[in-house]
């Protein structure tokens, strides 16, 4: 396999003609393939269909006697608090179980810290132009929350073991306007890397200049292993030990465990933080949908069953991730025109093209009927400084569609790269 | 029946001895009766038990093909948007259907107006110490939202036709820091009165000094008639006609239609306001639980069926409201020690004792095993200037318990009144 950088102009032109021809055919095929978001497939959703019917006119009460049809309860049914607590290795009073959107828990948490401040803190809004550190590439909807609240975002480079901790330690110690950092510690969105023990320990031991600095630890893929179960260190316990008991908010979700749009989600933190948050919840809501909590309790029973259930998801997802990996390796391997990750879990594969080509590749794919996450979306303000990162979301399409989409994607990478070398 | 004010000291003392004796017996009985909140009874909840099983592995898709198990959709399934729109006599694009808590919709709406401002407005937080008008007695959880956001509350007197409109017109025209008003226009919480056409027309024609003044129109009991269906005027249309198209946010809820803790709720406003709100929702949430929307669509079908269903609630509630009315009339009628409402719908009866006795009556009831909403809760900051209003919530207890509770309540009113005349 000859690297593109070694090809002469004739070779490149020949390749370009060939690829242009391929794209004519792709367009003629009139495909409409969607790889934009990390969405579970129909097969995965069907795994929980029994949840649709697991309650009935004789079963709507929680173990504590609560009628789940009626009002009452703010922080989740005890049954599901226990499931989350067991999965996250926490106690029930460190856990608040909410509705179907962990994004909503994060948004609300930032919102209240802006308007009211963290427990015993001053409102962030009154402290000047505050900033969040944003390990990048990262999750676009975290960045959208910062944008909404006019919070400046500082990109932090991501490595194999997590974000650049030297940089983070230095910055939070120096600048009291840095109030937060977004983290997806396990199967990070989109790179799929897992924070190392060393990284997590360093997070817990941060010495921020701002006493109201908070880590937003979005453990969205806590149990979403494709193969062997991987455990990451318990950030809440480590923060406690390091004398930073209130520094971290953990978020977790069943969106990719049960039904993506109708699941339950969780926020975990120190008991003191949880108490403070519950004061707000009293003013904010009548509480989460307890019937949906009860459905989850009935269907999943306990944390061990949840883990067993995740293996069923993995069986569906493994061939998809393997297909993506196989095609990237066979079509692009050795060409020197891209690098990609081979994650052991989560929902994404991250692809880095030659500099300056991500937008072009996404546009080529769009023209051929393959929708990808917009280039740049994985960076704060949609600005990928190298214009090279593309998030591939292989979970939703059936295998045959995924194969068609990946063929077009690989051709788009080739064509954009040829164009670059010819320019 | 002799009025207490006409009794001499001996008569009052005799009565006091009798009542003291009754309270000894009440305490011995060791009852635990709860009339604190407007909660549907078991019978009412059972009316919707089929909603627990109305979806299944072959029925989880909306009419537009959306898989309700998966991600997607921000403002509600078209099916339920239509139901709310028909009930409120609006169009679907004037309606956003949310999760199980209309309180959450109100809280979020105030929160975003504080932090970001209304559409084309400046953040309320940047405009000084803002104020809300609070028709009182009113709904305590509205006042809690104001408290949470440090919004000053100005009580407005309530009459038979709604709040004092002369006062409201004068105040909003004079003070640009008045940004909002809380209204429960139909079967007002707690007085049960219905805003007259004249009142509603005057609301729509307000000329506030603040261009970002907003009416929070909590139509919680829109279809909760005990007898004949009562219609109130359409505030959104009237505001439109009066040149105030964006001045009102309407809230509505199925909490007392389907399952109190697991229903669906709605916010309605001008199309322009709804578009602005949906921009925020994109940042805030993955969207409401569509499966629960679909359950409502399957169970209720359309607006006409919802109205028919409400008659089943009315059949359960009528005897309870009648019992309260009968007992108040027979036990307290003609004694000159209280006044009460006889609402034609909603969830509450409002009782006004002689001045300065509400706290004492609630305490006497508590001592005898009857829990009432705390005295003062129906006023901003829990401060009832006359200490006379008590909210009676007759919906939850079975009839026999309600009778026992009302007997104790009436005795408590008598005892507190005797004590007052003896003092």
The confidence score (pLDDT) of residue A229 equals: 87
Same domain, B349 and B333: yes
Chain A residue with the nearest C-alpha to that of B51: A56
Instruction: Inform me whether the pLDDT recorded for B256 exceeds 90.
Output: yes
The confidence score (pLDDT) of residue A167 equals: 98
Same domain, A67 and A28: no
A33: containing domain: 4-44+307-422
Give dist(CA B39, CA B35) in Å, integer: 9
Query: Could you tell me which of A168, A255, A182 has the C-alpha nearest to residue A218?
Result: A182
Instruction: Inform me whether the pLDDT recorded for A286 exceeds 90.
Output: yes
Same domain, A38 and A153: no
Same domain, B278 and B393: no
The confidence score (pLDDT) of residue B36 equals: 87
Give dist(CA B60, CA B54) in Å, integer: 10
Mean pLDDT of A14-42: 94
Q: How many domains does chain A have?
A: 2
Indicate whether B54 belongs to any domain.
no
The confidence score (pLDDT) of residue B423 equals: 92
Contact: A57, B53; criterion CB under 8 Å: yes
Query: Could you tell me which of A140, A329, A280, A395 has the C-alpha nearest to residue B145?
Result: A280
Instruction: Inform me whether the pLDDT recorded for B209 exceeds 90.
Output: yes
Q: Which of A55, A69, A125 sits opposite B261 (nearest CB)?
A: A69
Instruction: Inform me whether the pLDDT recorded for B1 exceeds 80.
Output: no
In chain A, residues with a C-beta closer than 8 Å to the C-beta of B287 are: 101, 261
Same domain, A17 and A141: no
In the listed set A253, A272, A301, which residue is the last one of a domain according to the structure? A301
Indicate whether A52 belongs to any domain.
no
Per-residue pLDDT tens for B101-137? Answer: 999 999 999 999 999 999 999 999 999 999 999 999 9
The CATH number that applies at residue B179 is 3.40.640.10
Per-residue pLDDT tens for A13-23? Answer: 999 999 999 99
Per the listing, tokens 């949880």 go with A274
Per the listing, tokens 């990070």 go with A188
pLDDT-wise least confident of A25-34, B59-68, B91-100, B285-294: A25-34
In the listed set A269, A301, A333, which residue is the last one of a domain according to the structure? A301
Q: What is the largest CA-CA distance in chain B?
A: 78
Contact: A46, B57; criterion CB under 8 Å: yes
Same domain, B138 and B75: yes
Same domain, B247 and B165: yes
Mean pLDDT of A321-335: 97
The confidence score (pLDDT) of residue B229 equals: 87
Query: Could you tell me which of B131, B153, B124, B126 has the C-alpha nearest to residue B141?
Result: B153
Indicate whether A50 belongs to any domain.
no
Give dist(CA A71, CA B141) in Å, integer: 14
Check if the beta carbon of residue A324 is closer than 8 Å to that of residue B138.
no
In the listed set B243, B275, B301, which residue is the last one of a domain according to the structure? B301
Same domain, A190 and A290: yes
Which residues of B231-348 form beta strands (DSSP E)? 248-253, 265-268, 338-340
Mean pLDDT of B368-385: 96
Per-residue pLDDT tens for B316-350? Answer: 999 999 999 999 999 999 999 999 999 999 999 99
Retrieve residue B335's tokens. Answer: 């004694």
Same domain, A392 and A338: yes
The DSSP call for residue B250 is E
The confidence score (pLDDT) of residue B416 equals: 98
Indicate whether A54 belongs to any domain.
no
Give dist(CA A123, CA A114) in Å, integer: 5
The CATH number that applies at residue B354 is 3.90.1150.10
Same domain, B226 and B353: no
In chain A, residues with a C-beta closer than 8 Å to the C-beta of B261 are: 68-73, 286-287, 289-291
| Mutation for testing the A interface, residue in B109, B127, B218, B262 having most A CBs under 10 Å | B262
Indicate whether B49 belongs to any domain.
no
Same domain, B124 and B218: yes
Per-residue pLDDT tens for A199-209? Answer: 999 999 999 99
Same domain, A229 and A282: yes
């Amino acid at each position: 396999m000859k690297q593109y950088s070694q090809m002469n102009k004739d070779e490149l032109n020949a390749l370009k003609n060939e690829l242009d021809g391929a794209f004519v055919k792709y367009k003629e095929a009139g495909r409409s393939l969607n790889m934009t978001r990390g969405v579970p497939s129909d097969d995965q959703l069907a795994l929980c269909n029994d949840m649709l019917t697991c309650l009935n006119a004789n079963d709507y009460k929680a173990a504590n006697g609560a009628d789940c049809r009626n009002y009452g309860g703010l922080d989740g049914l005890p049954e599901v608090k226990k499931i989350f607590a067991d999965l996250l290795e926490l106690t029930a009073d460190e856990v608040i179980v909410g509705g179907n959107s962990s994004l909503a828990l994060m948004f609300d948490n930032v919102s209240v810290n802006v308007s009211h401040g963290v427990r015993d803190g001053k409102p962030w809004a009154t402290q000047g132009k505050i900033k969040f550190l944003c390990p990048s590439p990262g999750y676009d909807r975290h960045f959208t929350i910062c944008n909404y609240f006019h919070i400046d975002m500082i990109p932090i480079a991501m490595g194999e073991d997590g974000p650049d901790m030297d940089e983070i330690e230095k910055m939070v110690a120096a600048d009291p306007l840095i109030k937060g950092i977004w983290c997806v510690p396990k199967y990070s969105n989109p790179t799929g890397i897992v924070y190392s023990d060393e990284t997590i320990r360093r997070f817990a031991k941060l010495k921020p200049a701002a006493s109201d600095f908070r880590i937003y630890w979005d453990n969205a893929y806590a149990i979403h292993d494709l193969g062997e179960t991987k455990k990451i260190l318990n950030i809440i316990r480590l923060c406690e030990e390091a004398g930073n008991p209130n520094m971290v908010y953990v978020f977790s979700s069943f969106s990719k465990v049960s039904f993506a749009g109708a699941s339950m989600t969780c926020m975990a933190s120190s008991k003191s933080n949880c108490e403070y948050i519950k004061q707000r919840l009293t003013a904010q809501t009548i509480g989460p949908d307890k019937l949906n909590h009860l459905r989850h309790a009935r269907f999943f029973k306990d944390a061990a069953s949840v883990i067993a259930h995740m293996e069923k998801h993995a069986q569906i997802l493994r061939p998809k991730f393997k297909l993506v990996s196989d095609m990237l390796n066979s079509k692009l391997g050795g060409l020197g025109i891209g690098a990609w990750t081979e994650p052991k879990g989560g929902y994404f594969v991250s692809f880095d093209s030659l500099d300056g080509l991500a937008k072009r590749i996404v546009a080529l794919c769009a023209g051929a009927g393959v929708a990808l996450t917009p280039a740049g979306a994985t960076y704060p303000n949609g600005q990928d400084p190298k214009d090279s990162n593309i998030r591939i979301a292989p979970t939703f399409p059936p295998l045959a569609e995924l194969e068609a989409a990946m063929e077009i994607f690989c051709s788009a990478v080739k064509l954009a790269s040829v164009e670059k070398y010819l320019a």
